[in-house]
Copies of this chain bind each other. A is one copy, B any other.
Amino acid sequence: MAGQTGTGQAGRSGRSGPSGTYRGMTAAERTAERRARLLEATIDVWADPATPVTMTRVCQRAGLTERYFYESFRSLDEALVAVVDAVATEVEQRTTAAADAAGDDPAARVRASVEAFVGLVVEDPRKGRVAIVEAAADPALRPRRAALLRHFAHLAAEEARELYGRDRAVADGELAGLLFVGGMAELVTAWLDGGLEATPAQLVTAATSAYIAMHR
């Protein structure tokens, strides 16, 4: 919704007005580029534990003025939501792709999914930090984070049913899934904060075996 209001027919036909291109980009391209820069700046500032996220700081980091922030987002929270959603879709894509590429063996599928998730966090810790740790801090973000965790818990429960049969009640499966997802979140959080001397591979192994043990 935001982003395409723009200037609104800048160059009327008979008039002299320029077509809207600037520095080789059309108006839409420029606003998209600014939006991308703002999102990048947002995740950057947000992931820094030392400085609280604020519109001022994000704009300063992006090299843009507050005015352009309002061009793409109505408020700071809206930008934060966009960041969290982007990370969430990336996590889902990577994990499902990894599971599908792992074949049919249940243990292999689980391990591949966990490995993909941990790999993403290790590769770009900022994403893990904002989606898991910082999103829990902002009251406006909490419901969304909770929904995402429950979504992944549901996926985990569904996979478990497919893999190991449906001898477990559905509600219990959801609880177990949430327990697992929440545990993974805490594990990654501890690792991100440096309080864990374990290697990513150890995280993957521990989480995988726990998941398999829980659903056996």
Contact = CB atoms under 8 A, between A and B. Distances in A.
Interface stretch (A33-41, A88-96, A105-113, A170-178): A170-178
A80 to B, nearest CB: 14
Contacts of A183: 178-183, 186
Main secondary structure of the interface of A (DSSP, over half): helix
A207 interface: yes
Given A136-B136, A185-B186, A186-B181, A175 B213 contact: no
A12 interface: no
Nearest to A52: B139
Nearest to A180: B183
A203 interface: yes
Contacts of A178: 183, 186-187, 190, 196
B182 A202 contact: no
A206 interface: yes
A182 B187 contact: yes
B214 A150 contact: no
A122 to B, nearest CB: 16
A136 to B, nearest CB: 5
Interface in A150-189: 150, 171-172, 175-176, 178-187, 189
